Amino acid sequence: MQNYHMSPEQFRKEGKKVIDWIADYYEHIEKYPVLSQVEPGDIKATLPESAPQKGESLDEMIKDIDEKIMPGITHWQSPNFYAYFPANTSFPAILGDLISSGLGVQGMIWATSPAATELETRVLDWLAEMMGMPEKFKSTSTGGGVIQDTASTSALTAIIAARERATKFQSNKKGNQQKLVAYISTQTHSSIEKAIKIAGIGTDNMRLIDVDEKFAMRTDLLKTQIQKDKKEGFTPFFICAALGTTSSNAIDPIKEIGEICEAEKCWFHIDAAMSGTAMLCPEFRHFQNGVELADSYCFNPHKWMFTNFDCDVFWVANREELINTFSILPEYLRNKATESGEVFDYRDWHIQLGRRFRSLKLWFVIRHYGVEGLQYHIRKHVEISRKFTSWVHESDDFDIFVEPPLNLVCFRHKAGDDFNMKLMNTVNETGKTYFTHTKLNGEIVLRMSIGQTNTEEKHVKATWNLIQKKAEELLNNKI
């Protein structure tokens, strides 16, 4: 290793070891405690305080992963992972991403790798069709899609474009001077609040609209609030609807909110981070009736569509508004293709300049599963969730907190908040399963979020049995 590089020959050997390591991991993933059991500082304490002067072998690194890193891993790819939202993946996604790492190209503008731009455009048009999206979201119409890292970034991108549009494209130049006001529900994801801060709007200018008994935004209150704000000299500019809130998977009334946006000239963003994937199945599309009124829409194939992080799909109805907001063209990036106007330069569709070739993994996933394979798995997860819901309904000790529309089940033991927290921690500490909680109407609620790639009914059944068993033991003071 005269020049310190790993040679292609060595890479063939080491790479195959890593492939086997990953296959082994998935074959034995159920042996690990789902939730890492380490204490703060445990992992760091095993790692040297300084970098090595001389190079080390890959075998040493893999050994350290096994011994030092694995104890600190919470296994998001375990079929027994039901916490938060899924961040599922699949082998085809991993291989698509591997090729992206290998090619190591930058797709910031068309010219820096035309295939990276054109594959992304095509695959996102595929997806729009697969999900029954309005024509205007396609690149062949006025809009188009772009892959962002996360739904947080998509929300921020939408808010900045909305801010610009509302100020007649002056806020980028003059800063935020108008009294702009944004609307979300009390259940909207925290990323919108974060984006409102970043965009210089300020949370004082963000209205939290209360929700109905299903935790969906109340449009009567939305309307009232907008009228009040307008009277006080504010300019409503942005409304976000959730297609599946994080706490309870509540679905805001898309059509009604869209009509209000249209009347009030507000930017209408739909955050479908997890549940958007369900739109692959025609029978779930009624949840987004009115989607044709949206200015932007995002969902994360890296949550429920078997595509490893990061991969958030962000569609806009009018790409010119987006490009006018984010476009930059320093001399060192000038090129013939950009000047021809015939290409998309995706750096102008988001915040970052540099960008990875992320459409490869999405392309691999869609082609490996086909539309029917993806539908099969989404339907299966929803079906399992319905079974879990029925088991809870049948139980004397637990209640379903709100009927689940899709794959997130909110339930609760009748013995109160403290008991539920204790129950959750007790079950999670077994390492056999991992689920998390939220608060709804001020009460602690347990969440089973069912969407990991390999989750089958038997896994959910085992978790339900374990939850019941631990609840009984806790009630009987056996633990």
| Residues in region 200-239 near a copy of itself by CB under 8 A | 200-205
DSSP assignment letter at 209: E
Identify the CA nearest to 450 among candidates 403, 408, 387: 408
Does the protein bind a copy of itself through residue 115 (CB under 8 A)?
A: yes
| Alpha-carbon gap, residue 397 to 413, rounded angstroms | 6
* Stretch touching a copy of itself by CB under 8 A, among 195-203, 213-221, 224-232, 394-402: 195-203
Residues 6+ away with beta carbon under 8 Å from 370? none
# residues near a copy of itself by CB under 8 A:
157
Residues 6+ away with beta carbon under 8 Å from 231? none
Does the protein bind a copy of itself through residue 19 (CB under 8 A)?
A: yes
| Alpha-carbon gap, residue 404 to 322, rounded angstroms | 35
Looking only at residues 407 through 466 of this chain, which bind a copy of itself when binding is defined by CB under 8 A?
Answer: 436-439, 447, 453-454
Q: Based on CB atoms, which residue is closest to a copy of itself, 330 or 396?
A: 330
| Alpha-carbon gap, residue 387 to 393, rounded angstroms | 10
User: Considering only residues 30, 36, 324, 461, which one is a binding residue for a copy of itself as defined by CB under 8 A?
Assistant: 36
User: Considering only residues 33, 79, 88, 295, which one is a binding residue for a copy of itself as defined by CB under 8 A?
Assistant: 88
Looking only at residues 305 through 334 of this chain, which bind a copy of itself when binding is defined by CB under 8 A?
Answer: 308-310, 326, 328, 330-333
The secondary element (H helix, E strand) that includes residue 402 is strand 398-402
User: Considering only residues 73, 162, 274, 427, which one is a binding residue for a copy of itself as defined by CB under 8 A?
Assistant: 73
User: Considering only residues 194, 255, 285, 386, which one is a binding residue for a copy of itself as defined by CB under 8 A?
Assistant: 194
Q: Based on CB atoms, which residue is closest to a copy of itself, 234 or 259?
A: 234
| Alpha-carbon gap, residue 176 to 178, rounded angstroms | 6
Q: Give the pairing of strands 235-242 and 180-185.
A: parallel
User: Considering only residues 33, 79, 80, 110, which one is a binding residue for a copy of itself as defined by CB under 8 A?
Assistant: 110
User: Considering only residues 165, 269, 319, 377, which one is a binding residue for a copy of itself as defined by CB under 8 A?
Assistant: 377
Looking only at residues 331 through 370 of this chain, which bind a copy of itself when binding is defined by CB under 8 A?
Answer: 331-333, 337, 340, 342-343, 351-354, 356, 363-364, 366-370
Amino acid at residue number 437: H
The residue whose two tokens read 């689920």 is: 435
Q: Based on CB atoms, which residue is closest to a copy of itself, 105 or 474?
A: 105
CB of 251 to a copy of itself, least distance (A): 17
User: Considering only residues 132, 134, 373, 431, which one is a binding residue for a copy of itself as defined by CB under 8 A?
Assistant: 373
User: Considering only residues 72, 214, 282, 465, which one is a binding residue for a copy of itself as defined by CB under 8 A?
Assistant: 72
User: Considering only residues 33, 34, 80, 93, which one is a binding residue for a copy of itself as defined by CB under 8 A?
Assistant: 93
Residue pair 358/120 in contact by the 8 Å Cβ criterion = yes
Q: Based on CB atoms, which residue is closest to a copy of itself, 116 or 392?
A: 116
| Alpha-carbon gap, residue 376 to 386, rounded angstroms | 15
Looking only at residues 168 through 187 of this chain, which bind a copy of itself when binding is defined by CB under 8 A?
Answer: 171-176
Greatest CA separation found in the chain?
75
Long-range contacts of the stretch 317-322 (C-beta < 8 A, 24+): 317/134, 317/136, 317/137, 317/142, 317/143, 318/136, 318/142, 318/143, 319/139, 319/142, 319/143, 319/144, 319/344, 319/349, 320/142, 321/161, 321/164, 321/165, 321/295, 322/157, 322/161, 322/348, 322/349
Does the protein bind a copy of itself through residue 31 (CB under 8 A)?
A: no
Radius of gyration of the chain (CA): 24
Identify the CA nearest to 264 among candidates 230, 298, 304: 230
* Stretch touching a copy of itself by CB under 8 A, among 37-45, 209-217, 290-298, 382-390: 37-45
Look at phi and psi of residue 200 and say left if phi exceeds 0, alpha if psi is from -120 to 50, else beta.
left
Residues 6+ away with beta carbon under 8 Å from 167? 174, 177, 178, 180
Q: Based on CB atoms, which residue is closest to a copy of itself, 112 or 219?
A: 112
Does the protein bind a copy of itself through residue 477 (CB under 8 A)?
A: no
CB of 248 to a copy of itself, least distance (A): 10
| Alpha-carbon gap, residue 351 to 155, rounded angstroms | 11
| Alpha-carbon gap, residue 152 to 385, rounded angstroms | 27
Does the protein bind a copy of itself through residue 190 (CB under 8 A)?
A: yes
Q: Give the pairing of strands 312-316 and 144-148.
A: antiparallel
CB of 396 to a copy of itself, least distance (A): 27
Looking only at residues 238 through 277 of this chain, which bind a copy of itself when binding is defined by CB under 8 A?
Answer: 246-247
Q: Based on CB atoms, which residue is closest to a copy of itself, 89 or 277?
A: 89
User: Considering only residues 132, 142, 193, 212, which one is a binding residue for a copy of itself as defined by CB under 8 A?
Assistant: 193
* Stretch touching a copy of itself by CB under 8 A, among 121-129, 234-242, 389-397, 471-479: 121-129
Does the protein bind a copy of itself through residue 127 (CB under 8 A)?
A: yes
* Stretch touching a copy of itself by CB under 8 A, among 166-174, 227-235, 254-262, 468-476: 166-174
Q: How many helices (H) and strands (E) does the chain have?
A: 16, 12
* Stretch touching a copy of itself by CB under 8 A, among 10-18, 228-236, 253-261, 460-468: 10-18
CB of 293 to a copy of itself, least distance (A): 25
